[in-house]
A and B are shown apart, each in its own frame.
Chain A
Amino acid sequence: QKEVEQNSGPLSVPEGAIASLNCTYSDRVSQSFFWYRQYSGKSPELIMSIYSNGDKEDGRFTAQLNKASQYVSLLIRDSQPSDSATYLCAVNRGFQKLVFGTGTRLLVSP
């Protein structure tokens, strides 16, 4: 079992819709959780971090964490074509090492 699992996609949504990206992790001692966005040919860019159960909102982005279910999600409201990218879920277990999933490719069509 991989430490961090994501559906590779692509996830296709029309412009203006809500995109829902999901991630599960295997290690219950994981403490902090991150979503990075990576455009094709570019490096990852942090868009959200979440440390406690519940929802965290930042603009059009909402991160959701459920530690009991070992589940993290990212919702993107009012999706734009510029949101088309690979979204990487990353988990930290209290050390400096981040463990990344393989990413979900999101395609937003105009």
Chain B
Amino acid sequence: DTGVSQDPRHKITKRGQNVTFRCDPISEHNRLYWYRQTLGQGPEFLTYFQNEAQLEKSRLLSDRFSAERPKGSFSTLEIQRTEQGDSAMYLCASSFQPGQGPGELFFGEGSRLTVL
């Protein structure tokens, strides 16, 4: 399968614990994005990388959130000291530019976080 893969698909944690999600984009894609989606809402932009550089971060991304893409391939999203409000689906997407339009994204299946 050459799509975007995310791991884990589901994570249940207690408030205050740290969690980390991993995303493996489509192999030739140079841009990688993280979005968050809650029930009944559209995805909300969190951050994006061009190769290994993190070029944009949303104000939604508090200091407890950090994302990396160390070698321009896979990416990790870490949430420290989780809160119940962090419960959501965390979606990773990738694209190749130039070539694809700026909004033409391929999404992974997401990592669902439940904070108890």
Contact = CB atoms under 8 A, between A and B. Distances in A.
Interface of A: 4, 8, 32-34, 42-46, 49, 51, 88, 90-92, 94-103
A44 B108 CA distance: 9
Nearest to A100: B42
Contacts, number: 61
Interface stretch (B43-51, B65-73, B74-82): B43-51
Interface string B82-114: 000000000100000000011111111110000
Contacts of B109: 42-43
Contacts of A103: 42
A96 B104 contact: no
Interface in B1-53: 31, 33, 40-45, 48
Interface residues of B, number: 23
Contact of B103 (A42, A90, A102): A90
B107 A102 contact: no
Contact of A96 (B40, B41, B42, B56): B56
Contacts of A97: 45, 48, 56, 58
B101 A96 contact: no
A44 B107 contact: yes
A101 B41 CA distance: 7
B105 A98 contact: yes
A34 B56 contact: no
Contacts of B48: 96-97
B80 to A, nearest CB: 24
B45 A99 contact: yes
Given A49-B104, A97-B45, A43 B40 contact: no
A32 B103 contact: yes
Contacts of A32: 101-103
Contacts of B103: 32-34, 49, 90-92, 98
Contacts of A96: 31, 33, 48, 55-56, 102
B3 to A, nearest CB: 10
Contacts of A102: 40-42
